[in-house]
Chain A
Amino acid sequence: AQTVTQSQPEMSVQEAETVTLSCTYDTSESDYYLFWYKQPPSRQMILVIRQEAYKQQNATENRFSVNFQKAAKSFSLKISDSQLGDAAMYFCAYRAYWQGGKLIFGQGTELSVKP
């Protein structure tokens, strides 16, 4: 069975600094997708970034980038120039290529941003 593990229940970062959130996963599939979703206090789930496993290049979206290490099954999220609005719960998620869209989530990391 596929699993996703986020080993940091809470993280804290100073405004304008950089923070990295960790995620590891376990799968025997070779084709899959990985995601980071953000859930602010409003509860809305917002897609932050997406990575296809077949792509070697790490995905980036403005201040958000990932470090995808396929052999190590690691998928960390780096947030640069942290802003107060980045404070939220962050979920790492996995989806196999042929499993009909089933997203498997990690436990989440609560990120706080200090002014």
Chain B
Amino acid sequence: DTAVSQTPKYLVTQMGNDKSIKCEQNLGHDTMYWYKQDSKKFLKIMFSYNNKELIINETVPNRFSPKSPDKAHLNLHINSLELGDSAVYFCASSQDREGRETQYFGPGTRLLVL
């Protein structure tokens, strides 16, 4: 059984479009995260949610909006896509709010903006 899953795995789209990436975890964890891995493979946190409450909001353009319908899901919606948004987006989850427990990552979604 997949612990942290993301859909889609690949996403190719045109500049200016709006797209969403979905994430689901079946580990019963309280906290979920979004990370971005750029073309140089550098990973950086974007957001974290604990039980549907926004905890971390890094300096991310407001075109990116996370949405957490329940604690098992954290979706990422991106408006007006730009070329620089091309990256791999990882969802992760951990048991606790403070993030002391290990974070488990999803398989990543490769987004390509043309």
**Chain A residues engaging chain B, CB cutoff 8 angstroms:** 33, 37, 39, 42-47, 50, 89, 91, 95, 97-105, 107-108
Contact = CB atoms under 8 A, between A and B. Distances in A.
B38 to A, nearest CB: 11
A44 B107 contact: yes
A102 B102 contact: no
22 contacts: A44-B107, A45-B90, A45-B92, A46-B105, A47-B102, A50-B102, A89-B41, A91-B43, A99-B56, A100-B31, A100-B48, A100-B98, A100-B99, A101-B33, A101-B55, A101-B98, A101-B100, A102-B45, A102-B56, A102-B99, A105-B43, A107-B42
Interface of A is mostly: loop
A42 B106 CA distance: 11
Contacts of B48: 100-102
B44 interface: yes
Contacts of A91: 43
B44 A105 contact: yes
B88 interface: yes
A10 to B, nearest CB: 12
A100 B107 contact: no
A44 B99 CA distance: 20
Contacts of B98: 97-98, 100-101
B107 A43 contact: yes
